[in-house]
Amino acid sequence: MDNFNQRVAIITGGARGLGFAVAQTLAMEGAKVVIADNGCALDGGPEDSVVADAAVERLDAKAPGCAIAFKHNLTAPGAAEACVALAKATYGHVDIVINNAAITRDAPIFQSQVHDLEAVIANNLSAPLALLAAATPVMRTQSGMGRRPGAIVNVISTAGLIGNPSQAAYAAAKAGMVGMTRCVAMDLRANGIICNAVAPYAATRLTQALPVTTEEEREYKEHAQRVPLSYAANFVAFLCTSHAARITGQVFGVRAREIFLFTQPAPAMQVFAEPGSFDPELYTPLIHKMADEFTDLRSEREIFNIKPVL
């Protein structure tokens, strides 16, 4: 029950980076995979259909017939439904969805353009939600007919949990995926379908493209570039096995051998305001009581600027 024989996975952004590493792991363990990747640049620029075809060719060379490509942009109307339909028509089922594809267009908020913000949200949040809206009815029906319940993994970023300068759009989308993960887990728990989020820390196109202007940024990038993708890929694959069947709605991080479980927002402290009209002075002592519980403004890159455990 714990291997991937007869399991069918849709992996967005599956032609490169972490997506391809996950696809390799699943395919080598017997799964059929749909590589949903339009081959675009990191900023969502020109698409290249050859990228997904090349990934499928590499996978098929080791496990013939294990992979097919879906090369359309998942932000397009009807694309999510078409991707799910392709998986069903080719392999008969949809058991696993890995929402991994993402773009980034970094800029300080005071220099950000609305069209860039909209593109990042569309690719990194709206498209994953659309894919789950298309795939989960199929997954629920399968579960109801006795097939082993499926699994969903949303690949997020600690930028969406902690924040980084110049990444308001990217962090907003990734934070949105955390909320989506929780809600999807609640919606599907009666069907036994699990949904979790994973923040990977590894050598990816994103870390390769990080600008370096300070010694701290240079160190952070150097640390990230030392971490193979296989660690995060293996953990994502684990969350799709029956060993993880009782794990749902959780937010994890993977940095080489380190696996993090992130706490999720909940009230840290409670104070009571006096009734009456607006008076700023009444709030001052209340907020002073809370000050020790305030979250500092260290960025994700500052917090994780330490050597990974390889």
Residues tagged active-site: 170
Q: Tokens at residue 186, please?
A: 């609640």
Q: What DSSP string runs through 221-243?
A: HHHHHTS-THHHHHHHHHTTSGG
Largest CA distance in the chain: 73
Question: What whole-number distance in Å separates Cα of residue 233 and Cα of residue 26?
Answer: 9
- Residues contacting residue 152 through CB under 8 Å, at least 6 positions apart: 96, 97, 98, 99, 132, 136, 184, 188, 193, 194, 195, 196
Measured torsion, CA atoms of residues 185, 187, 190, 195, in degrees rounded to the nearest 10: -20
Question: What whole-number distance in Å separates Cα of residue 159 and Cα of residue 224?
Answer: 14
In 3D space, the residue among 259, 252, 257 whose CA is nearest the CA of residue 227 turns out to be: 257
Instruction: Yes or no: say if 185 and 264 are a contact pair by the CB < 8 Å rule.
Output: no
Give the DSSP H/E element, type plus range, for residue 208: helix 205-208
Question: What whole-number distance in Å separates Cα of residue 134 and Cα of residue 157?
Answer: 24
Question: What whole-number distance in Å separates Cα of residue 183 and Cα of residue 17?
Answer: 27
